[in-house]
Structure 1
């Protein structure tokens, strides 16, 4: 796979995780609750945010950068943390096992399926649209299950996957930030 494509996919995945799972107001509230400063964060703060929101390290860095809590120099510093140091620090987090375990078997539709059923029950959409939405959801689910199965078949934990998928810091910053 082309390095630019890998970088783009990595960036898109982290951006998606960050925007969807770490909304601005929730980030601010959790930082206040846990006493995480708006500036001068340490590695432990990043790991705490990873645990709170169950998102990858780079997604936390990206959200903090986007919200103006850290600057480019700080991003460089955190991206230059050695993988071994990060892995060891993550292992001290009490929730680490929960948010790093393999997840293909935990797949849930969340509220999307409930909302689709509600639309159908209350006749909010045409029958054709309901059928189309159900088919689309099934296709997405099958693609997701296949992708997760392929992805996780080679890795026992998210940590192993993360270790394997990390890109050189200079490449990420030049291409992605």
Structure 2
């Protein structure tokens, strides 16, 4: 469990994101970048291994109304491919002593988001199975897949309410699945 001051520090100590919501250049074309389902970035067949470079690219990434993903600068806009979701939730911290409980999640590019109405947790099932596919809405139309380990930890801090497993965070209730 993390205290309120720790959660506040995680959210506050992030560097400001570029104002890509104000940038609207014409499409420059497609670029051979693929974000794999496990969060790896591949450029022209090779993995981008410099974490700081991946973080930079992720800071200028957005999903537009057409459903495609773009790297955007003030003067260029490049379409890229994403296999599943562009980000992965790799960790979370929570303070259950507060009412409502606060939970912050960390992405694979070191950004933190607080679960709640602005950044909701959604748990869908994969086609043809009951396997949960949890995700968190982040910013700029992007969502992050919750890693299996984080999801199981979330289940551990959730409550059973009737036949459902419910995670309370930020004044919202998120259904994680059915209690068996």
The TM-score normalised by the length of structure 2 is 0.25
Q: Which structure would you say has the larger RCO, counting Cα contacts within 8 Å and 6 or more residues apart?
A: 1
Between Structure 1 and Structure 2, the one with more strand by share is: 2
The TM-score normalised by the length of structure 1 is 0.25
Between Structure 1 and Structure 2, the one with more helix by share is: 1
Indicate the structure (1 or 2) with the bigger Cα radius of gyration: 1
